[in-house]
Structure 1
Amino acid sequence: MINQIYRLVSPRQFEVTYKDVNITSNLVVVRPTHLSICAADQRYYTGTRGEEAMKKKLPMALIHEGVGVVAYDPSGELLSGTKVVMVPNNPIEEDKFVAENYLRSSQFASSGYDGFMQDYVLLNRNRLVVLPDNIDMNIAAFTELVTIATHAISRFEHISIKRRGTFGVWGDGNLGFITSLLLKKIYPKCKVLLFGKTDYKMSNFSFVDEVYDIYDVQANVQIDHGFECVGGRGSSMAINQMIDHIKPEGSMSILGVSEFPVEINTRMVLEKGLIIIGSSRSGVADFEKTVEIYKQYPEVIDYLSILVGNVLKVKSIEEVTAAFDLDLSSSWGKTVMKWGI
């Protein structure tokens, strides 16, 4: 079978390439239906990822957030038409101490390896998680982003002390929204405080207990544990404010990605005996747990619908470019491409 792959060859320029694939192998053939644009994809698209990385990783098909339907499973285990979420992380070794998403040898779609912008994606069966039949695929498209929060909370649960009174989440964007939402569902008896700076974004966090403008937080506000979902140049302020308001021996989960070194107040980290937990990407177990959360708390899907921003039918490379450009101008929510090429 000849598969068409839509690769970024230089900033803002996509080209179609053709690859002969063997559908009689053990790989499951999936037809992507809904693809969600991530900030990491945008860094490649705009050329801001860095000259060295661009030279090393392009040409490459973008997108690592996506869902689709099974077109063909040689084992017959997955029926044609089954809705699935595609796991972008592909480990090639096992380590009983290190999770698959932290192994340096793991292959990650749209980061040095082709992502999901293809006519068909061929994946190992254990890289697919079956979705509920009635799920809104526009929302399911960014399940990978939800798994980032799921993974961070799992690491927090494993590493931190057991005081579970009050959580603080820094960041009023998509990841901050998802992390706050999952914390409220997983720890219903706990308080969740949101720290942000944009009023219209913070107005979407109707489910949290308290909302604070980061420039107007009283000194007596305290949290047991914090989650940083800011990233970029704002990471330093967010982490240091978290250090100021966290109780001794609390944990700080760092989720935001920054291209620059971040300065933090290590003196108070030491004095308070704080735990810093780094979290990046996710593994298949996080996808499975996230889908179970969808089933257990169907209202989570209702809340996540707020994050659906632009939904565009894409049938050409020109329309892909238009979708990426529109996403750049969007200040809230996720841009989803209904994949019809």
Structure 2
Amino acid sequence: MSQVSLPGTDPTGPLNDESYIQLLAPDGTRTASEEFDPWLEDIDGDRLAALYQDMVVVRRLDQEATALQRQGELALWPPLLGQEAAQIGSGRALRRDDFVFSSYRENGVAYCRGVDLTDMIRVWRGNRPSGWDPYEINMATPQVIIGAQTLHATGYAMAAKFDGDDVVAVAYFGDGATSQGDVNEAMVFAASFQAPVIFFCQNNQWAISEPVGLQAQGKLSDRAPGFGIPSYRVDGNDVLACLAVTRKALDHARTGGGPSFIEAVTYRMGPHTTADDPTRYRDANELEDWKRRDPIDRLAALLSAEGLLDEALRQRVRKAADEAAAEMRAGCINMAEPADLELFDNVYTAPHPVLARQRQHYERYLESFEAAEGGH
């Protein structure tokens, strides 16, 4: 395992003299680790290629969705550009029966869980209030309220423990969410009940326009031990380190060890959402520095060094990415519009008199247009 220092966004901030768990350097050099290599024993050449394909496909989907938003087909999109290794590495570590609670940016994790690509963009097109059935892929629909999903994950994990199940709940959130009360309260409960939950923080350096150095005067991973939760700080642009650390945390949770906190230090290379303009608050030189740590490029360098990144693999990966993007675009353009009264479906699990009255009022309102048209 290599301990490396990466520059922070703020020269006076807490990120300049810190160490990270790193197994794959930016130049593609693989570093041996006595602690984490055992968690990667099954990662042969084929699986390395699969991780590479995952990251390329997810980046291509992200680019396609951004293009769809710019073309007026989506109302908004939260890009994940630069965070592919954190999401793919952790997402591929999970079992199918583990349950994910994410924010709005974890589309790479959703891809790993098997979400339908059209479902991935329904809510961003304004077509549905939710994207998919959580129980089909064991992943809750994205949470827009910052940090609230950590409470949901902790509650799910507590229930799993009470039921004697060995599934693990994983909550994904950003560095900005660590300042929210919900996240801290979730960690209090998780530690108190030794719940099998992983708090996976993608520290992408920016909470919208606020740098992490402004809200954190120390490592984010140092906060968790104060609650009695072990933590890891990992290079979030290293897919192998993210995979190994997540596997170790999962095993810790399954065997009764309780919660863990993972800080994946990565970088949001694009805007916070497509409504944001990062050039207004971010130095272009900072972006160039992080581009040299691109998660896809470093795995490509490893594959090349091992003679695995031949033209056949490149073509296969390119084809998979193009096909996925075409599927997403077709699903978006051909998405059926919801019926008028579907707005009231699935708001509550049981009939609700206030909602029923609102539905009746809206139904009469719609009928008034039909009556007016009939009068003509």
* TM-score (norm. length: structure 2): 0.32
Q: Which has the higher contact order (CA 8 A, sep 6+)?
A: 2
Larger radius of gyration: 2
* TM-score (norm. length: structure 1): 0.34
More strand by percentage: 1
